[in-house]
Amino acid sequence: MRIAVLTSLYPSNTRPHEGIFAERRWLGMRARGHSIRVVHPLPRAPFPLSLMTRYGEIAAMAGTEDRGGIPIERPRYLHFPRSARANAERFAARGVAAILAAERPDVVVCDYAWPAGAAAAALREADVPCVISGRGSDVLQVAGEAGLAAELARALRAAGAWCAVSQDLVDRMDSLAGAKHGVLVPNGVDLELFRPRERAAVRAKLGIDPALALVLVVGHLIERKDPLLALAAFLAWTKSTAPFAKLVFVGRGPLEAAVRSAAAAAGMAHAVECVGEQRPEELAEWYAAADALLLTSSREGRPNVVLEALASGLPVVATRAGGTPELLEGLPNALATSRDADELGRLLALVLRERPAAERLRARVEKLSWQAGLETLERLLESARGAPRAA
Contact 215, 248 (CB under 8 A): yes
Distance CA 263, CA 252 (A): 16
Mean pLDDT across the chain, nearest whole number?
A: 93
Encode pLDDT of 343-359 as tens digits.
999 999 999 998 899 99
Spatial neighbors of 101 by CB under 8 A, at least 6 apart, are none
Contact 14, 60 (CB under 8 A): yes
The residue-averaged pLDDT of 55-80 equals: 91
Phi/psi of residue 375, nearest 5 degrees:
-65, -40
Phi/psi of residue 185, nearest 5 degrees:
-125, 85
Distance CA 274, CA 270 (A): 11
Statement: residue 390 has pLDDT above 80: no
Encode pLDDT of 255-305 as tens digits.
999 999 999 999 999 999 999 999 999 999 999 999 999 999 999 989 999
Confidence of residue 391 (pLDDT cuts 50, 70, 90): very low
pLDDT at 60: 84
pLDDT at 132: 98
pLDDT at 13: 85
Instruction: Please name each of the domains of the chain with its CATH number.
Output: 2-188+370-386 (3.40.50.2000), 199-363 (3.40.50.2000)
Encode pLDDT of 235-259 as tens digits.
999 986 667 999 999 999 999 999 9
pLDDT at 46: 75
Contact 162, 184 (CB under 8 A): no
Report the candidate in 70, 145, 140 with the shortest Cα–Cα distance to residue 109: 70
Q: What's CA 292's distance to the chain center, in Å?
A: 20
